[in-house]
Copies of this chain bind each other. A is one copy, B any other.
């Protein structure tokens, strides 16, 4: 459900290129071509067939609870069975509210009733088949009916409320209007509610994904005037999955919270609207002109509002009954190690037709499954068990994957080797994010997948992209460093860290299993039809990825990675990448503390010298900012020692594997595979992150104030960002202990391989 990778984001880490800590460790192996098996697999993927499946699956709106979503699950089940998989549907019963009525209007100074509808687009037949489509709605908002003054809050992030406070504008008792972007959708009403707002409107500004970005659909991929973005606003940063069953599967008889007690459900009504509707509200606003960073590109002067003269009325009513969801689970048992599971998933529910999100990834998964089925029919068998997963209800809050992972947690923590995720994809460049022990194998596989547009490998094209971005005159330091790495063929290109926004979350962040998310993007779409009625088969096949060539490349990359794990002799992991990456995170966190300490010191002086008052334009005066807490010096030594050891242990492991791989017994190989899982799990001790213990991974989490975007070394980093000094101290120790345990596992593996080299915890 994360927004597609767009060109407007190509200078950011969302490319799947994270901070560049991994350049020194594992050097790229001399290009090992694909195996015979991988070559055969590739030959079995048929884009025309994928297009057919997409057409069927997007023939009608397929949101959770819709007839077509259920039909799609049944179809997928049937296909898996046809292809020889052992498949079934696993059902959960989840809280999933559905809309009964929605109203949004401006009541003063003039009256305007928001249309809240997406009209059909001539030339796109799918947009005429919207009888079963969800209206303008966001899941898990809080039903209500309020009329109140309106305030524009920019992206509705923490810093926007800080700015509002300095402007002397309170949102207490008011309705806020926020634009989509910067942070995750759900944080906007959450922060509004925390600041006392009684309602929240979220609109798509044309500057971000409308006419400013590109020609509107159907000419281009930008948002048409009346398009709006549906989505979920449950507090994913606390936990994803069913709001009533945190930590356990939402089975028929599961213990459930009362709705009113679920901490992830909002209390205020929220509606998403188009910029065509929003302009009427924004143009009416009075009060101060917005700060420069708050400007959108509607042809108006944006004002903050907040006075009583402009009033809005928002009313939302929902059906809060439990609904069934349908996960399709398909397996091919491993011959040598049936209890080692290679998992591969993509969701099948959309917000409307969902051609790009999720069907472009769903049909890739189906193509892989069919090809694997054919290989099996031809006599091949995987050494380890393949588990293919077609999730339901990802959109509302990763429900299908989370409930399944929670339900099978114990088994997965014993058997799961890797979880490989995809979601929407489109034309462009590879984006790979995941556990950094997987960085090298992802580079290897990317070197063997041909880019449909250029004929070079998707790795070579990615390298070219990083070089071009990083040598742009406006490139930041990270981009410049990435360009240097990309230009050096002896170095692997770094993968990004995973935050949230798709079905890997429970596997990586709750269970601590290795996980990866793969996608293509940055050419096919600026994201203007995302979660709207315009993400149709016509849109996808004419604009986002004609011929499904990148959807096919995604099947090739994800499927090859699954096969590699299912069939390899020794684990594909390399740990030098991880060690260097973590060393980089630690440097960032230390620098963060220093930077914030300097900022707090400087600000204290400025508050004392009245500097903020002195720069004030008396016609537009602002209060001083809230005083930053003085930042102490932290004892980072435990982490520094743990990272030093990790580097040694990782180096020893990688070296031992390189030396000894060919000489190991089947039993040792099997044990090594099991140890990759155990090693990764050390990063997710039961203690969890401060204040949100569902998230257990101490290396990767969605940011509690950014949403989808990853925070690395999150417990320590966010403690510093959020001025929780005790948590910082405590989690330095906890994170260091986890890294020591990680090194212990690596050392044990080195012993297993029969080399004497070990390192010791200090």
Residues of A within 8 A of B (CB): 7-8, 206-207, 211-216, 220, 222, 289, 292, 295, 297-301, 427-429, 453-454, 456, 460-461, 463-465, 467-468, 471, 483, 487, 523, 599, 602-603, 605-606, 609-619
Contacts and interface: CB of A to CB of B under 8 A. Distances in A.
Contact of A617 (B211, B427, B467, B612): B427
A665 B606 CA distance: 46
B461 A206 contact: no
A300 B211 contact: yes
A727 to B, nearest CB: 23
Given A214-B289, A602-B487, A467 B222 contact: no
B212 A468 contact: no
A109 to B, nearest CB: 16
Contacts of A603: 471
Contact of A467 (B213, B523, B606): B606
A336 to B, nearest CB: 40
A301 B215 contact: yes
Given A297-B297, A467-B611, A471-B606, 9 more contacts: A212-B295, A297-B299, A299-B299, A454-B616, A461-B615, A464-B606, A464-B614, A468-B615, A523-B617
A301 B211 contact: yes
A616 B427 CA distance: 12
24 contacts: A206-B299, A207-B297, A211-B300, A211-B301, A212-B295, A216-B301, A220-B289, A222-B301, A297-B299, A428-B617, A429-B615, A463-B611, A464-B606, A465-B614, A467-B606, A467-B611, A468-B606, A468-B615, A471-B599, A471-B602, A487-B602, A487-B605, A487-B606, A523-B617
A618 B452 CA distance: 11
A550 to B, nearest CB: 12
Contacts of A427: 617
A187 to B, nearest CB: 18
A609 B295 CA distance: 40
Given A212-B301, A298-B299, A602-B487, A618 B467 contact: no
Contacts of A465: 614-615
Chain A interface helix/strand/loop/mixed: mixed
Contacts of A211: 299-301
Nearest to A610: B464
Nearest to A219: B301
A468 B611 contact: yes
A122 B428 CA distance: 53
A456 to B, nearest CB: 6
Nearest to A455: B614
A616 B454 CA distance: 9
A159 B512 CA distance: 49
A460 B207 CA distance: 38
Contacts of A617: 427-428, 453, 523
A291 to B, nearest CB: 10
Contacts of A214: 289, 301
Nearest to A614: B464
A532 B487 CA distance: 51
Copies held by the complex: 2
B297 A614 contact: no
A465 B615 CA distance: 5
B606 A212 contact: no
Contacts of A453: 617-618
A461 B617 CA distance: 11
Contacts of A463: 611
Nearest to A7: B292
A610 B461 CA distance: 10
A468 B292 CA distance: 16
Contacts of A602: 467, 471, 483, 487
A369 B28 CA distance: 76
Nearest to A428: B617
A218 to B, nearest CB: 13
A609 to B, nearest CB: 7
Q: Which among A461, A611, A612, A618 has the highest number of chain B CB atoms within 10 Å?
A: A611
A614 B301 contact: no
A222 B605 CA distance: 35
Nearest to A463: B611
A18 B198 CA distance: 47
Given A297-B297, A461-B615, A615-B461, A292 B523 contact: no
A73 B468 CA distance: 57
Nearest to A452: B618
A716 to B, nearest CB: 21
Given A427-B617, A454-B614, A614-B454, A301 B468 contact: no
A619 B215 CA distance: 14
A666 to B, nearest CB: 42
A303 to B, nearest CB: 8
Nearest to A489: B609
A483 B606 CA distance: 10
Nearest to A618: B453
Nearest to A613: B454
B299 A614 contact: no
A588 B220 CA distance: 44
Nearest to A300: B211
A599 B222 CA distance: 34
Q: Which among A220, A456, A611, A615 has the highest number of chain B CB atoms within 10 Å?
A: A615
Contacts of A467: 602, 606, 609, 611
Contacts of A215: 289, 301
Contacts of A295: 212, 297
A211 B614 CA distance: 27
A292 B8 contact: yes
A461 B609 CA distance: 11
A460 B289 contact: no
B292 A614 contact: no
Contacts of A206: 299
A189 to B, nearest CB: 25
Nearest to A487: B605
A749 B408 CA distance: 88
Given A292-B8, A483-B602, A611 B464 contact: yes
